[in-house]
Structure 1
Amino acid sequence: MSTKNILLTVVALVVMAAVAYTLTSSDDPDAYLERVESERDKQFKFLKYNEDSPLSKEQKAALGNLSFYEIDPAFKIRAKMVAVEDRKVMELPMTDGSIEKYIKHSYLEFDLKGSPQKLLLLQSFNEVDKRNFFLAFADATSGGDTYGGGRYLNLRQDGKNSISIDFNLAYNPYCAYNPDFACPLPPKENLMEIAIEAGEKDYSVKKD
């Protein structure tokens, strides 16, 4: 399977998981924690056992766990979607110097722990389901606790002009595990000044 097809397959799996996660959302704190833990466990099993995992056989054998921040419900927020007036194609640079095409769809406006934020929401140029989106971001933890090239979220629109964002589900791109993979870098609009202490930490960070 080609690298492109592998990435498309994984994105599809993540989107389906996100849809199920959103549909089963409730205000019950324990149920919420269980759902996030379940998604993290699925991610670990994919990396550890799936043939499409970016990990080498040696890495799979050595992988005992992934490193995450503690689940913090404060990082699960609702954002207003403000449509980009002229939805042009954006050529997002990849870690290997190539480019990948996305549509500049909307700006996400929200408050996070009292700090107003605005991020650019992208849609894959070849996306069939127009309610599926891609968010690549970097923040004050990037290059420290988290991967220097940023982290990702696959989002699905669940409101007329709004969307749920749960940074507890933020995950690493493939190139965080294996430099042979090319990954999109976050656009300049998504370089956050605050620390997003939620989601997956850097694969290279020493595990406890």
Structure 2
Amino acid sequence: MQRPLKLVILAGITLVLFYFIQDSFFNEENYTKPLLAERENKDLSFRSQSNSPFTEEGRRAFRNLNYYEPKPEYQVKAAISYFEKQDTLHMPMTNGTTEAYLTIGTAAFELDGQPQKLTVYKKVKSEEVEKYFVPFTDKTNGFETYGGGRYLDVPIKENAKTLFLDFNRAYNPFCAYNPDFVCPVPPKESRLTVAVPAGEKNYETAK
């Protein structure tokens, strides 16, 4: 009677290991590799004259952007509460002007076990019709990341009750590389109370 029981236990352990290995492979193939490829492609685009925020001198010095290693805990599922009235916010820009954004709703989630909220926006005049704009600041700003904050682009799904905020894809505005560019300044309601060591870091020129 003991032999079949041992076989059942062994089969169960094998099945658990199979799903664990399968899940790890799935993450590597379907998440990490595409993310790293995106980063490589961005480096390539920044080296080109047409797509780069850098001056000609900056492009010659450019090697690559700096990132944190991808971390699964910084892909978070957020519950979105839509505003009944989607008002227009005139978001401040780095040159003292403003730019019009629709206030879509509030995304609520947890990071490091602490509740957080970010306002979700959509640019009024934008070709990016299928993306929400989520600017934010956190406790890494001015230290490991750009002091002015970072941005997230979030795919739009009509009437979705949840959004996925992937902080591994958080990116710097162009004014982080060249002060001649004008960029949105994250509003005060877009401040996170924790550090977010994910996504793009400060840019450092090659020495």
User: Which TM-score tier does this pair reach, normalised by the shorter chain?
Assistant: 0.7 to 0.9
* Correspondences of 1:121-140 after superposition (within 5 Å): 121-127=120-126, 131-140=130-139
Q: Give 1 or 2 for the bigger CA radius of gyration.
A: 2
Change in 2 beyond 3 A, CA 1:87/1:45: same
- Which SS does the other structure have where 1:42 is aligned? helix
Offset at 1:80?
1.1
CA distance in 2, matches of 1:195, 1:189: 16
Work out the percentage of aligned pairs sharing the same amino acid.
37
CA distance in 1, matches of 2:90, 2:25: 39
Offset at 1:52?
2.9
Q: Is the 8 A contact 2:76 2:164 kept in 1?
A: yes
Deviation sequence 1:25-75 (CA, Å, 0-9, x none) = x98121211011011112111111241311011111111121111111110
Whether 1:64 aligns to 2:63 is yes
CA distance in 1, matches of 2:163, 2:80: 7
Offset at 1:77?
1.3
1:9 matched residue in structure 2: none
Change in 2 beyond 3 A, CA 1:181/1:75: same
- Which SS does the other structure have where 1:108 is aligned? strand
Q: Is the 8 A contact 1:106 1:121 kept in 2?
A: yes
1:89 matched residue in structure 2: 88
2:199 matched residue in structure 1: 199
| More moved, 131-140 vs 41-50 | 41-50
Deviation sequence 1:62-105 (CA, Å, 0-9, x none) = 11121111111110111111001221100100001010000010
Whether 1:55 aligns to 2:54 is yes
The TM-score, its normalising length taken from structure 1, stands at: 0.81
| More moved, 65-74 vs 45-54 | 45-54
Whether 1:117 aligns to 2:116 is yes
Whether 1:39 aligns to 2:35 is no
Offset at 1:126?
2.3
CA distance in 2, matches of 1:151, 1:48: 21
Please tell me the root mean square deviation across aligned C-alpha atoms, in Å.
2.0
Q: Which amino acid aligns with 1:164?
A: F
Q: Which amino acid aligns with 2:26?
A: D
Change in 2 beyond 3 A, CA 1:129/1:200: closer
1:108 matched residue in structure 2: 107
Q: Gaps spanning 5+ residues in structure 1: where?
A: 1-25
